[in-house]
Chain A
Amino acid sequence: MKIMVAVKRVIDYAVKIRVKPDKTGVETSNVKMSMNPFCEIALEEALRIKEAGLASEVIAVSMGPTQCVDTLRTGLAMGADRAIHVDAPATLYPLSVAKILKALVDIEKPGLLILGKQAIDDDCNQTGQMVAGLLKWPQGTFASKVVLDKEKQVATVDREVDGGLETLCLDLPAVITTDLRLNQPRYATLPNIMKAKSKVIKKVTPDELNVEIKSDLELVQVTEPPKRKAGVIVSSVDELIDKLKNDAHVF
């Protein structure tokens, strides 16, 4: 069984982002970019499944401009066997990403598609669910534990839901999206980074996949959130209680 993992290149999670003065978006030039943290977890899980002897190959895919190749190299250095780069415009909405992924799944026929639960830039939390819908595969979203049964061709998934945990059993092939608690991603070692340079990254275009990129969403503007007014530092618990009572009126 092959596992396909979708990874996204985003602004590094630790960067304090800046909104462009012309309100067209967020400043991305000269900003540190990394693999989306949830995608790292997705890739780590695929690698662990392969290392447990339950999968034969891990394919990392990413879509977007040329620089996505860097993200794929990171994925290859972590241990992915090969990669596919879909050369596409920078802003793809999840519906287009899901259609491209479906086209790739139709070609590669993986038994499992693993994605992060959300990208930390657009915070959409949609792509996995959408591609599962398009493929008519079952979905295990927000997974914090995945157990594969090769004999029965099922995956048992613990999902992080509002009131606690939910356990589902999914027939393979299936789509799984990862929550933060699924695993601790590994670091790529130097020898693996060197080895990754000789691994194959195949480039395709949405046209070649017969996917039409159309968008039904129009970005009107991006603005800074309203600033909170400056707070005060109090010197004692008594003063704090007094402020809460008499200034903030919360008691």
Chain B
Amino acid sequence: MPSLTNSLPFSPAELAYLHTSLSSIPPLRPDARPLSTDFRALRAETGVLPAVNGSAHVGFSDGREAIVGVKLEVEKTVAGNRVTQSEDGAMDIDADGQSRDSGEKRAKGKPEWVSLTLTLPGLRDDDPNLVFLEEMLREPLALSSSTTATSLQDSLIINSRWHWHVYIDVLLISPNGLASYPLPLLSMATHLALRDTRIPKLKSEGEEDPIADDDWMASTYLYQRTTPPGAKPPVTLLIVVVGENIIFDPSREELAAADSVIAVSVGNTSTDGELRLLATRMIDTPARDTMKGVPLSGETQEGVDVPGVWRPRIGGVKRTLLKKVVNTVLAGGIAREVMSGLDGFLSAETSASMG
């Protein structure tokens, strides 16, 4: 990955020092965070762009910033999707089973109604790493919905002929490029922007062509802010595995020495308040393309690991360690803490704007 290494690379001695510190129990993090589940401080604000339906601006402590704008557009539903099919099924008078089937099947949107673009100055638009990041952010948003869970595209249906199309545009300003993997920054910024998004109220009813109300104060939130809380956009956490340790929110130094990097997306897709695992991905670790260290005593035997001399890890992750990662996110309460932190920020901003 040439774009990941446009910053200054680490030497084998630095990598060995970082890996030894991070793989000790408890892990010693280079920025002196006490716990492996500690997150770095971030600044956030919503509603920074007046020309869009929703916006957010999130900055991290190391200088990276992300600005997200969400725009909605009314689109004509292409014939042949399931909304029309269920309607056609309901209109069929002959079959009695059709009415039962159409009652069971809920109207479903399509994942193509959610578009996400990511722009990083200095990087080409068709860079594969940028496309990988875009799909990683877009995938938990627009899951293929099943009978038990709904997705963002299901709430975009106006009627059987029209729907909303959501365009999420992310602008990333980062001095390090993609080296410190800005996935948590982009994920939290996208989360806050989507919760800030408002849909204009429609004057039209039923199967009419949609006409929006001119009163912007009558618009409603795309993700309802009700009590009890409804569905929320997903948040993607970045986790690294070093030795037997699992470290959350890795910095650039921790990413450079990681054995494996895993992205876990969690979200609240129903009204029961339970967080669910929406998507996981494994990311290529930068430690695979590093130079091996040379021991001080000259030539050693092949395959013998000298402690303190850097050697990139070959292979993958143990199965038990991978399950431990997912269990720590869900059952360990990390996802709940992150989501409650974002909820607290939105509550503080809402009360600040009201006061």
Whether A associates with B in a native complex is no
Q: Which residues of A contact B (CB under 8 A)?
A: none
Residue numbers of B with Cβ under 8 A of A are none
